[in-house]
Structure 1
Amino acid sequence: MEYYKEKPFIHLFQTPLGNYFYDVNTNEIVKIDLKTYEYLNGEVNNETDEIRKKLYDLEMNGYLKKSHVEITKHPLTDILPFYATNKIGQLILQVTQRCNLHCEYCVYSGNYETRNHTNKKMSLSIAKKAIDFFQEHSTDQNNVTIGFYGGEPFLEFELIKECVAYAEDKLEGKKIEYSVTTNATLLTDEIIDYLIFNNFFVTVSLDGPREIQDECRRFLYNNKGTFDIVMKNLRKIKEKDINYFEKNVRINTVLVVERGYECIDQFFKEENIFENLMISASTVSDNYAKTKSKISEEFHIEQQYELFKTFLVEIGELEKEKESSLLSEYLKQLYEMCRKSEEKHRNELPKSWHRGGPCLPGIMRLFVNAEGILLPCERVCEISECAQIGTLEKGLDLEKMQWILNIEKVTEDECHKCWAYSECSGCIRFGNNCREDLKKLILKKCPEIKGNVENAFKDFTVLCELGYDFDKLDC
């Protein structure tokens, strides 16, 4: 038997308020005293009667098992064909690969070893075939979503209108929700009125105050910044229909880690227009980047300070206005990852299972690119042969979809011994053109993933120790 299977399958960690282990088999975080922690961590070899009793009590409560997954098989593998035939829930159409901006960190910018902006656009014929395909493969779904993606989708506003009209006819009887991701520079009165009338959910890309937005997001044709026009168009939406604006408009900001964090956070906090909007923040993706972003010390310190203040707000030690505007979703993420619940607790790891990470490819978010190629979602590299799951002409490749769903097989030797097995976020989006590189690319992300999971565990346990009630987020 391998050495790692002779030890309890746990991960130890400490915070200023306690000592803990994450029990992989039960999927629970357990608080322990310092002596037990030191013994389990190998710092103390002397197994005293006191420690022996505590270990016995833990074992009697179902913890400290040594079981590992032995066979890689996603539990939804066998029902994937049924879902692919009947339950596709969201269609995302890449109506164009063109963009009117040139953002250096964009995956289409040419600064990545994957793909570039091109002049390719989706024809009405392909769009209709995609909607037909969606109708045929969503028979068990009463509520569906159609999203529009680019490039910049409003370069093809007429196509979007034709798609909506066709979908309303083709998907009659279903409740259809529409969404679009945009840089908001092309929003005319006509487009805004159309979005409001059709109740579109709109995600607007905005990276912060003028100096940051204009540095990061510039027009392709004259290299000028976009801050003023984006803010003007956001205000125009709000003036036309404030209820629609607060319910349907969301902001996505890409944090430029070479710069400071506080100035971005303060911008979204102080501008009244963002007061009731959902704001999501992420850092620049380094997947396949030719040059890597380096997080500045200033950014890291300021981000951690804002997180600290947010925690103080949540436990009632600071007033609400001190809370970071960019961390509003983080507590919900902690809750989903760490809470003890019936659906997440288990007695033991099954012998046959699959780590966290992959979703049902193409079922939750079927992405159709401008040429009619089918992909699991819009986040994967669309030129990757590994990620392509079919075409509109030939249909879905179920064998490929099942391979993607069981992506752990590429790294199963490492995965089966990894403590972050259940909370892993690795999937096919980390891959590129060739399967030979896939294992290397997935494993390269492991330290970052495990670091994020451990930090989440620490934040969760500290908040629990301070009396924060996570159950109030269950709504």
Structure 2
Amino acid sequence: MDIKTLSGNVYSYLRRTNEIVSGVVVDNDYQWNFSPLHAFSAMLEVEMFIVGITEQCNLRCTYCCYSGAYENNRSHGKRILTSDDISDIYDFIRKMSNKKHIRVSFYGGEPLLHYQLVQYAITKGQELFGNCIGFSISTNGTLLTKDKIDWLISNNVEIAISIDGTRMFHNAHRVDAHGNGSYDNVYEALSYIKHFYPEYVASVVLQMTLTSYRDIIQIAEEWDNDDLLKYFTPSNIHGLSPNFANGVERIDYEEVKELYTQILDKYERNMDNVVLNVFFDECIAYWKDRPIVDAGSAVPMATCMPVNTKLYIDSKKEIGVCEKVADKYRIGNIKDGIDWSLANEIIEKYYQQRVKRCRYCPAIRMCDMCLTAIEYTDEQWNVLCHNERVYARVFMFLYCEMAERGLLK
């Protein structure tokens, strides 16, 4: 894999050693040999449990994975956990986790639709685990009233809020059932936090989903010029999950490189921009921090299980590897525990796909394809693998281009 910077310099990536060298170096003959897969019957590293309080939500975001448009996921439903369910979940957590300190994150739907249940779960967890438990909540922010914010912060709960940029971009997709935007409610909650809990601002997790990265320059400018938002740093900026029901296009390297170069030119003129800082940190994170290590003759297969650090418990009390894996692929329930044969079957299926597809891939070390891909057909894998290789090459280009321009921190 090689790239050419805008100054005309050529750099090649060596997949075996993870090095970047000058000039064109062809190493297509090197192949990955994956270590044999072994059956497992324990997950010793789990320390975080994501709990789906409810399937209900007061928004109808256009890209939501629970909109009914995703083939293997549920639609918005009516299920809600009960206080008895919370007790059963804590029993499962106690049996499952070997870690001294655990973390519980409340998820939905919109968990604040059932705020009293969230309060109960937090209070119950504190009683059972004392200082050995921490909490977070993922929310669309529309129901974060002053009283709720006060209580959550006073109980050391990390608040993760979805905000898709500034008003126009957020309201284009994060709407209620009547099509009304939700931005003003989120903004009001952030304003209250900034005014009454300024020391907490840095702890707020802001999740930004963009339907197109072409919007990021305008979002970045507006964010920087907003008297409130400029004090908040997005925790991550990401695109949409692939939805083959709506079509997923094969991206073109030159087109993506041109777009990212435009964004980089803007960043070079204002390196203090909060949004662009996060965006480029994420783009080149692997390249900047990559270990220069000879992979040798065989490498372990990188999979979630059994070394995963988190598990997802949905509102049906079924267990998933994480909240991103499609609903169809559950691996047990809190009453019976993990179905180890099913968990091993899922990993085997994923492993065989990776062995078949990844042997000569130059992008395997920085690939974002994970266990979520088990639901896809061979043709869908072809599209996703193509796009992963394009992004790996674009991000390598960005890293080298930023190095030449003196933009690496």
Q: Tell me the number of residue pairs that the alignment of Structure 1 and Structure 2 aligns.
A: 403
The TM-score with structure 2 as length reference comes to 0.88
Kindly provide the amino acid, as one letter, of the partner of residue 117 in structure 1: H
2:357 match? 414
Kindly provide the amino acid, as one letter, of the partner of residue 124 in structure 2: Y
Kindly provide the amino acid, as one letter, of the partner of residue 389 in structure 1: I
- CA distance in structure 2 between the partners assigned to 1:231 and 1:405 by the alignment: 42
Kindly indicate whether residue 337 of structure 2 is the aligned counterpart of residue 346 of structure 1.
no
Kindly provide the amino acid, as one letter, of the partner of residue 238 in structure 1: K
Distance apart, 1:350 and its partner CA: 2.9
- CA distance in structure 2 between the partners assigned to 1:302 and 1:444 by the alignment: 20
- CA distance in structure 2 between the partners assigned to 1:229 and 1:96 by the alignment: 21
1:97 match? 55
Kindly indicate whether residue 110 of structure 2 is the aligned counterpart of residue 160 of structure 1.
no
Pairs within 5 Å for 1:72-221: 73=36, 77=38, 81-82=41-42, 84=43, 86-113=44-71, 114-139=73-98, 141-172=99-130, 174=132, 176-220=133-177
- CA distance in structure 1 between the partners assigned to 2:384 and 2:364 by the alignment: 14
Task: Report which of the two structures shows the higher radius of gyration computed on alpha carbons.
Answer: 1
2:204 match? 249
- CA distance in structure 1 between the partners assigned to 2:137 and 2:368 by the alignment: 25
- CA distance in structure 2 between the partners assigned to 1:206 and 1:455 by the alignment: 26
Match of 1:70 among 33, 38, 52: 33
1:237 match? 193
Contact 2:346–2:374 (Cα < 8 Å) also in 1: no
Contact 1:219–1:226 (Cα < 8 Å) also in 2: yes
Distance 1:14 1:258, change over 3 A: closer
Distance 1:338 1:399, change over 3 A: farther
In the TM superposition, what whole-angstrom CA distance separates every residue of 1:284-320 from its partner, at most 9, and x where no partner exists? 223244356999x99997664222332x2xxxxx454
- CA distance in structure 2 between the partners assigned to 1:204 and 1:467 by the alignment: 34
2:223 match? 268
SS of the aligned residue for 1:164 comes to helix
Distance 1:248 1:94, change over 3 A: same
Distance apart, 1:409 and its partner CA: 1.1
Contact 2:257–2:394 (Cα < 8 Å) also in 1: no
Distance apart, 1:336 and its partner CA: 3.2
Kindly indicate whether residue 321 of structure 2 is the aligned counterpart of residue 371 of structure 1.
no
Distance apart, 1:163 and its partner CA: 0.9
In the TM superposition, what whole-angstrom CA distance separates every residue of 1:389-443 from its partner, at most 9, and x where no partner exists? 21112211234334444523124222112111222221221333xxxx5444333
Kindly provide the amino acid, as one letter, of the partner of residue 281 in structure 2: L
Kindly indicate whether residue 331 of structure 2 is the aligned counterpart of residue 389 of structure 1.
yes
- CA distance in structure 2 between the partners assigned to 1:345 and 1:362 by the alignment: 23
- CA distance in structure 1 between the partners assigned to 2:304 and 2:280 by the alignment: 21
1:7 match? none
Distance 1:292 1:449, change over 3 A: closer
The TM-score with structure 1 as length reference comes to 0.76
Distance apart, 1:65 and its partner CA: 9.1
Match of 1:331 among 281, 300, 303: 281
- CA distance in structure 2 between the partners assigned to 1:403 and 1:459 by the alignment: 39
Distance apart, 1:360 and its partner CA: 3.4
Match of 1:31 among 22, 36, 60: 22
1:428 match? 371
Contact 2:49–2:105 (Cα < 8 Å) also in 1: yes
- CA distance in structure 2 between the partners assigned to 1:261 and 1:173 by the alignment: 40
Distance apart, 1:213 and its partner CA: 2.4
2:183 match? 227
Distance 1:467 1:239, change over 3 A: closer
- CA distance in structure 1 between the partners assigned to 2:285 and 2:382 by the alignment: 26
In the TM superposition, what whole-angstrom CA distance separates every residue of 1:106-158 from its partner, at most 9, and x where no partner exists? 1111233232101111222222222221122222x233211010111101111
SS of the aligned residue for 1:172 comes to helix
Distance apart, 1:192 and its partner CA: 0.8
Distance 1:439 1:394, change over 3 A: farther
Distance 1:155 1:204, change over 3 A: same
- CA distance in structure 1 between the partners assigned to 2:29 and 2:63 by the alignment: 44
Distance apart, 1:239 and its partner CA: 1.9
Match of 1:400 among 329, 342, 350: 342
Contact 2:45–2:307 (Cα < 8 Å) also in 1: no
- CA distance in structure 2 between the partners assigned to 1:22 and 1:302 by the alignment: 22
- CA distance in structure 1 between the partners assigned to 2:391 and 2:256 by the alignment: 17
1:58 match? none
Contact 1:67–1:349 (Cα < 8 Å) also in 2: no
SS of the aligned residue for 2:218 comes to helix
Structure 1, unpaired ranges of 5+: 1-10, 42-63, 313-317, 471-475
1:49 match? none
- CA distance in structure 1 between the partners assigned to 2:189 and 2:346 by the alignment: 40
1:56 match? none
- CA distance in structure 2 between the partners assigned to 1:263 and 1:271 by the alignment: 12
